[in-house]
Structures are given as structure tokens and as C-alpha cells.
């Protein structure tokens, strides 16, 4: 299917679904033969690739976002960074920061990323899983241990967790995928630096 054959309504639908630019949407739909879901997946992959190229750039601007839940029983503060003050003030960036705060409140992670998890913590978890796997065949134990560790880290690290707003969607993005998409849309390196959770009485 050529670009000229892509209906404008389909381009509009893909733009609303992904937030990508019009030309990027047309190109993705052309590559996907007019398949909306496949085109969205192509754009997501491209966003991840573009974001990876930006990941080394300094992100010293940004915002502090907060979320208060349960009638004042739970509060979250997050710091989300970008490269320029201009991007920090955009609605898209501010929305992402709010989504991060909401996700922290909903999913209650312990760390931002797997890289933030202390090695001694990982070692202790491996010991637990090794004990659980001691009756398994020796050649399978390491795979079982690492698989359980990866699953556990996915549960406690914000960037590995699912984006809760996608719960009703066919494809639920991780927070890392959402961060990469936001970075691609805004053209800057976007990072989640830290978060704090306040629970009344804790």
C-alpha cells in the first residue's frame, strides 16, 4: 500500500493512539499495509530506538510532580528530568510526570530501575531461589533462579512495571516503554530520577 492510499482518518486514528507525528504515522501505516495495530507497534519500536540514541544526553531540567490518594492517606512525589526548560513546561511532559506519580501510587515500586537495585539484595534473592530450586535438575537450576529474580525485579522496579492506564488495552506498555515513547515524541532524553512515597502512619 502506498502513502497516497492511506486514508486520512486512519492516520488521524493512529496519531491519537500513539501521539506520533503525521508523517511518521503515514510511513508506519504504509509499512504495515494499513494495519493499525502493526503500525502502532512499528512506531513504538522506532520510539524505543530513537530514545536509546538520546539516553546519553544530559537531562538536568524537568519537574517535580505529586499525587495524593485515598483522601490524604497516601502521597507520592517524583522527579522527572529532561534536557531543556522548554520541554519541561510542555503539557506532554507534565502529563508524563503525573502518570509516573500515579503509577508509583498504584504499583508501589521500591526502585526506579534494575540498575538501582543493590547487588547484595540481588544476591540474597538468588540464595532464596537457589534453596527453592535445590530439588530441580542441576542443569536447569541457574535458569530457574535467574527467571525468578527477573520476575521479582520486574515487580519492584518502576521502569519494569506495567503502565496501569493501559490495563484495558490489548497491549500493556511498561513504564520504560512509555518513557521511551515520551522521549521520542519530545525529542529529548527523558529520565525518572527518583520518587518518594508517603503513607499516613508509616
Residues 27 and 44 occupy one common structural domain: yes
pLDDT: which is higher, 56 or 28? 28
Give the per-residue SS3 of 96-157.
HHHHHHHHHHHHCCCECCHHHCCHHHHHHHHHHHHHHCCCCCHHHHHHHHHHHHHHHHHHHE
Q: What is the end-to-end Cα distance of the chain in Å, rounded?
A: 59
Task: Please tell me the least confidently modeled range out of 38-42, 63-67, 84-88, 183-187.
Answer: 38-42
Residues 193 and 166 in one domain: yes
CATH number at residue 22: 1.10.8.10
Instruction: Examine the domain organization and report whether 14 and 108 are in the same domain.
Output: no
Do residues 40 and 103 share a domain? no
Do 99 and 169 fall within a single domain?
Answer: yes
Query: Is the model more confident about 45 or about 108?
Result: 108
| pTM exceeds cut of 0.75 | no
Of 179, 174, 201, 178, nearest to 190 by C-alpha is 179
Query: Do 100 and 174 sit in the same domain of this protein?
Result: yes
The position carrying cell 521502569 is: 159
DSSP 8-state class, residue 47: H
Is 12 in the same domain as 82?
no
In contact, 26 and 11? CB cutoff 8 Å: yes
DSSP string covering 179-197: HHHHHHHHTS--EEEEEEE
Residues 182 and 102 occupy one common structural domain: yes
Residues 109, 65, single domain; the answer is yes
Q: Is the pLDDT of residue 168 over 70?
A: yes
Which of 54, 74, 95 finishes a domain?
A: 54
Same domain for 109 and 65 = yes
* Domains of the chain: total: 3
**Cβ neighbours of residue 129 under 8 Å, at least 6 residues apart?**
144, 145, 148, 149
Domain that holds residue 109: 61-113+157-199
Amino acid at each position: 500500500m502506498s502513502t497516497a492510499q492511506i486514508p486520512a482518518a486512519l492516520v488521524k486514528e493512529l496519531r491519537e493512539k500513539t501521539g506520533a507525528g503525521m508523517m511518521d504515522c503515514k510511513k508506519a501505516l504504509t509499512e504495515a499495509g494499513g494495519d493499525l495495530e502493526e503500525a502502532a507497534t512499528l512506531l513504538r519500536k522506532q520510539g524505543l530506538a530513537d530514545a536509546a540514541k538520546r539516553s546519553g544526553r544530559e537531562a538536568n531540567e524537568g519537574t517535580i510532580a505529586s499525587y495524593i490518594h485515598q483522601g490524604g492517606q497516601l502521597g507520592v512525589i517524583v522527579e522527572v528530568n529532561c534536557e531543556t526548560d522548554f520541554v519541561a513546561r510542555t503539557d506532554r511532559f507534565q502529563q508524563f510526570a503525573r502518570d509516573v506519580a500515579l503509577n508509583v501510587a498504584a504499583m508501589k515500586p521500591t526502585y526506579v530501575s534494575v540498575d538501582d537495585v543493590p547487588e547484595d539484595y540481588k544476591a540474597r534473592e538468588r540464595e532464596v531461589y537457589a534453596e527453592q530450586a535445590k530439588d530441580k535438575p542441576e542443569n536447569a537450576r541457574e535458569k530457574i533462579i535467574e527467571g525468578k529474580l527477573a520476575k521479582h525485579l520486574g515487580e519492584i522496579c518502576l521502569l519494569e512495571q506495567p503502565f496501569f492506564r493501559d490495563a484495558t488495552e490489548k497491549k500493556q506498555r511498561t513504564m520504560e516503554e512509555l518513557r521511551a515513547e515520551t522521549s521520542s515524541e519530545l525529542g529529548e532524553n527523558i529520565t525518572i530520577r527518583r520518587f518518594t512515597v508517603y503513607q499516613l502512619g508509616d
